[in-house]
Amino acid sequence: MTTTDSPPGARAGLRDRIGGRFRAGAAARPALAYAFWATMTSTTVPTPLYPLYQREFGFSPLMVTVIFAVYALGVVAGLLVLGRLSDEIGRRPVVAVALLLAAGAAGLFLAADGLAWILAARVLSGLSAALITGSATAALLDLAPPDGRARAQSVAIAANMGGLAAGTLISGVLAQWAGSPLRLPWTVTLILLAAALPALVLVPESVRERTRPALRLQPLRVPAGIRGAFLRAALTAGSGFAVLGVLTAVTGLFLGGLLHLTNHALTGLVVFLAFTCTALGQFATRVLPPRRALPVACAGLVLAAALIATALLAESAAPLVAGAAVNGLATGVAVGNGLGVINGGTPPQRRGEAVSTFFAILYSMLSVPVIGVGVLIQLAGLRTAGVIFSGLVALLAAGVAVGLPRAGRTGE
Q: Say which CATH number the domain at 120 has.
A: 1.20.1250.20
CA 377 to chain centre: 25
Note the pLDDT tens digit of each residue in 178-228: 889 999 999 999 999 999 999 998 888 878 777 787 777 777 777 778 888
Q: How many domains does the chain have?
A: 2
What gap in Å lies between CA 96 and CA 99, rounded to an integer? Answer: 5
188 shares a domain with 257: no
For residues 104 and 159, the answer to whether their CB atoms sit within 8 Å is no
Q: What is the pLDDT along the chain (412 residues), one digit of tens a residue?
A: 334 444 444 444 434 444 445 455 577 889 999 999 999 999 999 999 999 999 899 988 889 889 988 998 899 888 888 877 888 888 899 999 999 999 999 999 999 999 999 999 999 999 999 999 888 888 888 888 877 777 888 898 899 999 999 999 999 999 999 889 999 999 999 999 999 999 998 888 878 777 787 777 777 777 778 888 889 999 999 999 999 999 988 898 889 888 888 889 999 999 999 999 999 999 998 888 888 999 999 999 999 999 999 999 999 999 999 999 999 999 999 999 988 888 777 776 566 677 778 888 888 888 888 889 999 999 999 899 999 999 999 999 999 998 787 655 544 5
Rg (CA), the chain: 22
230 shares a domain with 105: no
Whether residue 206 lies inside any domain: the answer is no
pTM: 0.86
276 shares a domain with 136: no
For residues 78 and 202, the answer to whether their CB atoms sit within 8 Å is no
Whether residue 11 lies inside any domain: the answer is no
Amino acid identity for residue 55 in this structure: R
Sign (positive or negative) of CA dihedral 181, 184, 190, 195: negative
138 lies in which domain range? 22-201
| CA angle centred on 382, ends 381 and 385, rounded to 5° | 85
Whether residue 301 lies inside any domain: the answer is yes
pLDDT of 153 = 82
For residues 397 and 295, the answer to whether their CB atoms sit within 8 Å is no
Q: Which of these three, 201, 227, 247, is where a domain ends?
A: 201
